[in-house]
Chains A and B, each alone.
Chain A
Amino acid sequence: AQSVSQHNHHVILSEAASLELGCNYSYGGTVNLFWYVQYPGQHLQLLLKYFSGDPLVKGIKGFEAEFIKSKFSFNLRKPSVQWSDTAEYFCAVSLTGGGNKLTFGTGTQLKVEL
């Protein structure tokens, strides 16, 4: 079965620390990859997306992600987190030609401490 794994369920960092959140997927076809963020009490917002081309993609608020096809991974990174980055982060995958149905990972709760 197709699946998306986020191995870090809860992450606590101090401000200015570097962030890397893991995302692995198991799909056989060509994939589209997404990271969404959900701030407390708010709806999901798109952070960044990968469709094709340069495997290093940059998103909003200083986030970036790297697609490594051989590892079936799409990890999210930020060099220096801020308190305002406290949120839940979701990795999601859809298949090209798959009707844009998204499969989400279980999410990573990030808490940034002052």
Chain B
Amino acid sequence: NAGVTQTPKFQVLKTGQSMTLQCAQDMNHNSMYWYRQDPGMGLRLIYYSASEGTTDKGEVPNGYNVSRLNKREFSLRLESAAPSQTSVYFCASSARLAGRYEQYFGPGTRLTVT
């Protein structure tokens, strides 16, 4: 049981390049999330998917797109990377326990845009 996995672990992009961050979970969770973490700002929600086939914007969605490929996988795409997108990206999935939800996080992807 690997939990939440993310690839790649590190990536360097040039401004204007595109890339997709991959996330998968093997816990049969319905909901999945993408966050970015910046120094002094905590984690901010980019997009989330409450269930397979649905996606919604979070707090900071501009410059990103997502795809909920199936129940296991939720990818984040940067179409034209900008230096402001330099960050650590975390994927999470959530389980419902007694009517309440608890999120589990992946190891993160450290992205640098030059």
Contact = CB atoms under 8 A, between A and B. Distances in A.
B43 A90 contact: yes
A104 B103 contact: no
Contacts of A99: 31, 48, 50
A99 B40 CA distance: 26
A7 interface: no
Contacts, number: 54
Interface on chain B toward A: helix, strand, loop, or mixed SS? Answer: strand
Interface residues of B, number: 24
A33 to B, nearest CB: 11
**Highest count of chain A CB atoms <10 Å: which of B48, B98, B105:** B105
Contact of A32 (B35, B43, B101): B101
Interface string B29-73: 001010100001111110010100000001000000000000000
Interface string A30-62: 001010100000111110010100000000000
Counting chain A residues whose Cβ lies within 8 A of the other chain, the interface size class is 20 to 34
A106 interface: yes
Given A42-B107, A101-B48, A107 B42 contact: yes
A96 B45 contact: no
B108 A43 contact: yes
Contacts of B45: 101-103
